[in-house]
Structure 1
Amino acid sequence: MSVQRMYQAKVCMAEEAVQFVEPGEVVVFPINPGEPPALLQALPTNQKLMGNTLFRMLPGYPLIETESEIIKQVSIFLSGHDRKAFSEGVSDLLPNHFSDIPALLKMSSPTPVVMAAVSPMDEEGYFSLGTSVSYVGDLLDQAKSIILEVNQKMPRTFGEQNKIHISQVTALIENDFDLPSLPEPILNDKDTKIGQTIADLIRNGDTLQIGFGSMPNAVMEYLKDHRDLGIYTEMLPDKVVDLYEKGVITNANKKIYRGKTTATFALGSRRLYDFMNNNEDIFMLPCQVSNDLRNISQLDHLVSVNSTVEVDFLGQCNSEVIAGKYYSSTGGQADFAKGVRMTENGRGIICLYSTAKNDSISKIVPLLSPGSVVSTTKNDVDYVVTEFGKAELRGKTVQGRTEALINIAHPKFREELTFEAIKRGFLPKKNFFMI
């Protein structure tokens, strides 16, 4: 049978496609733009579901309204669509390092149901996972069912574990919809100062891992005069397009995936998705490959840039909890914080605003706030950057770390922080009022 005839035999309506999910089965969605919205909406129409679990990461659409006994909804990384639900106990959260997610999902079910939005089928019968290979790519060979939502607006991308053949597909629907996108970030004065400071730490020929958020991406505004930069990252952001167009990104110096920009998912504007479409310079990797310490360690001159919520005097970073409530998750921050230290001439950078709530709260703190978690350990941070400069922690003693961090705190809090540091024995008494 030709691939076109196989395709036609498997096309159906969303309400029909979700009937292939059996009671108790685990269903897995890709990250954000890779989610299939019509299948998501139709899933509760399967009246036989009971004891099922739905895993989503950084969801781009609201949770479905159903009882948890029917479908338990579990987040792998919270977004605005499920933070409130988690805090109210409506949904659950799976702690993880990004690199571990495929293995953790296989623990939940060795034969899950994969539902994904994909690019149109090519002449050989293959669909592309497009923006989100992430943890889904590694599940395809073992999946009990693969149910696709074919979208003409999903970019066709290349990479590893990024293709699904029509023969593997259980059912498919056609639905052309605009992919979820992020608005162009509006950079404030703090962002620009942080971006400039970090950009000064990046040298020509370096390879970059850029994390999620306005602060890390502000760095890319100040790299336009750099040369021969490489990209080896998790999330592919919009600013990559600008640097490509200016000839800044060449990936010429990478020991692995030379000449290719690598990522495990993308989230940005339509401009980014169009740039990715049929672009062989973009190479999408499954997260257990992109975030594997053994691969990261091969990238000499790697600079990892990630943001956090607060940092204590020891350099411990809470990147997940705000005011005692979960806001996000670990993601790949710890993967890269650990991996970059295994590279030659690697630098791991954590950035944050020095304050919150109109400068009423210091984010450089003696101890992490009650209810906080340690996302990145004190031993895995090289630099911390705020709008007041950089603190180099690697190789520094407790006293050295404390002093360096107080020096990049907001000036209005430095005296108070110094007092607290002395009280805890982190600074000698002679240092009081000297910082």
Structure 2
Amino acid sequence: MVDLAAHVRPGDGIWWSQTSAEPTPLVHVLLDSVAEIGPVRAFCGLTWDKRLTTELPEQIALSSYGGLGELRKLAKRGRVDVVPCHYSALPRMFAEGRLPNDVGFVQVSPPDAEGLCSLGVGVDYVADAIEHTPVLIGEINQRMPRTYGAPRVPMERFAAVVETDRPLPEAPDRTADDVERAIARNVASLVEDRDTIQLGVGSLPSAVLDCLTEHNDLGVHSGMVSDGIARLVEKGVITGSYKEIDTGSVVTGAALGSNELYTGLPGLPIEFRPASYTHSPAVLAKLSGLVSINSAIEVDLTGQVGSEMRKGTYIGAIGGQVDFSRAASLTGARSIITLRAASRSSSNIRPVLDGPVTTGRSDVDYVVTEHGIAELRGCDLTERARRLIAVAAPEHRAELEKSLGDGKAGTNR
């Protein structure tokens, strides 16, 4: 295994790949050896590594762009510092040294005949960060597929490597429930043939994709892709034939799904690009048919969206929501926000947000719940509130109406 003490100094800043591309063996070496190395700063994205969140040494000051996956547990304990930023801002933050960038851990494919390694399923912020990171340490995984679209990493770029042969982590698989299926049907009714869609991963996005099987010639430009995207490509639903750029290709930064998805990637028309491309305002502005589909924790009666915190704890992120919502609303086709109307006994459509504003009301065209679709584009504040109350949970509508009369709604206006 790698002797990190030979490459990492006290006070260094370390970042590593996220989700299915997370270089877990290297992260675990850091957990085991940081007491001898000394205090370090670290940055990671969405992680499923339970050891990271249960055995995080005091010598590691961890930061992230959100409280995603296992990081929710650290957020509750105050052990992760969240940097609130748009996903499109990460490349610049690495370039300016505002995020840890002395050492980078990456998981890559075996080198090809020219000695070049693919970043595989985890290009996203990694490809941008590499350019500004002097020390790169690699996990060369025999099962990491070679993907296309991003620059490859020459073997001589690595200060050290460890070779593995392990399956990539698969995304947690949860079947959509009745509420999510109802939301998905409503969302699918807003998607038109030849649109270019962006959406995340999880049970609700998967349900949305399942409802798009009768559509034609859809395109995809998204931060992540899942098994559902691959299925629609294979069925001929997603062709990308009418995309203004990258015609015929699915463009993404990462893949999160099953082993079947990972092994099938080399045979699919999917290009993996850095965040500086996938989330670039200039690039997104070229997609006139862009439809963004993003999830929220809460929405207020003016249409402001909260997707980061619940009861004072980070459980989400700004991520790419604003990047895509703004582009879809201004230069694309439609910006869609989805959420459950209620959680337990509380309405998720509120007079005032409990947490910070993630996406401004001017970037939201539609809010979709299991009870219907609230079209907000072109509506004044009074009409917005009326339409949002109409898609709230029925048992909470009277209280929301009352908040309008009491003047409690719209404090954020």
* TM-score (norm: length of structure 2): 0.94
Q: 1:283 to 1:195 in 2, by over 3 A?
A: same
Q: Distance in 2 between matches of 1:111 and 1:216?
A: 33
Question: Residues 203 and 226 of structure 1 are in contact (CA less than 8 Å); yes or no, is this contact kept in structure 2?
Answer: yes
2:20 to 17, 33, 52: 33
Amino acid across the alignment from 2:147: T
* SS state at 1:149 partner: strand
Deviates more, 1:402-411 or 1:85-94: 85-94
Q: 1:376 to 1:111 in 2, by over 3 A?
A: closer
* SS state at 2:185 partner: helix
How far 1:322 moved relative to its partner?
1.2
Residue number in structure 2 paired with 1:272: 261
How far 1:326 moved relative to its partner?
1.2
Residue number in structure 2 paired with 1:412: 395
Q: Distance in 2 between matches of 1:31 and 1:279?
A: 23
Alignment pair present for 1:293 and 2:278: no
Cα deviation per residue 1:49-70 (whole Å; 9 max; x = unaligned)? Answer: 23321111001213274544x3
Deviates more, 1:280-289 or 1:233-242: 280-289
Residue number in structure 2 paired with 1:8: none
Residue number in structure 1 paired with 2:300: 312
Alignment pair present for 1:284 and 2:272: yes
Amino acid across the alignment from 2:8: V
1:146 to 128, 132, 136: 136
In structure 2, runs of 5+ residues without a counterpart are none
In structure 1, runs of 5+ residues without a counterpart are 1-12, 428-435
* SS state at 2:367 partner: strand
How far 1:336 moved relative to its partner?
0.7
Residue number in structure 1 paired with 2:351: 366
Q: Distance in 2 between matches of 1:48 and 1:419?
A: 60
Larger radius of gyration: 1
How far 1:233 moved relative to its partner?
0.3
1:339 to 320, 327, 350: 327
1:126 to 116, 133, 148: 116
1:188-227 to 2 correspondence within 5 Å? 188-227=177-216
Q: Distance in 1 between matches of 2:34 and 2:202?
A: 37
Q: 1:246 to 1:26 in 2, by over 3 A?
A: same
Alignment pair present for 1:59 and 2:32: no
How far 1:109 moved relative to its partner?
5.8
Identity of aligned residues (%): 36
Cα deviation per residue 1:77-96 (whole Å; 9 max; x = unaligned)? Answer: 32342222222222322211
Q: Distance in 2 between matches of 1:361 and 1:227?
A: 38
Amino acid across the alignment from 2:15: V
Q: 1:18 to 1:230 in 2, by over 3 A?
A: farther
1:235-274 to 2 correspondence within 5 Å? 235-274=224-263
Q: 1:137 to 1:401 in 2, by over 3 A?
A: same
How far 1:240 moved relative to its partner?
0.7
Residue number in structure 1 paired with 2:88: 99
* SS state at 1:304 partner: strand
Amino acid across the alignment from 1:374: V
Q: 1:88 to 1:47 in 2, by over 3 A?
A: closer
Residue number in structure 1 paired with 2:150: 160
Alignment pair present for 1:381 and 2:364: yes
Q: Distance in 1 between matches of 2:40 and 2:160?
A: 19
Q: 1:402 to 1:243 in 2, by over 3 A?
A: same
1:174-189 to 2 correspondence within 5 Å? 174-189=163-178
How far 1:426 moved relative to its partner?
6.8
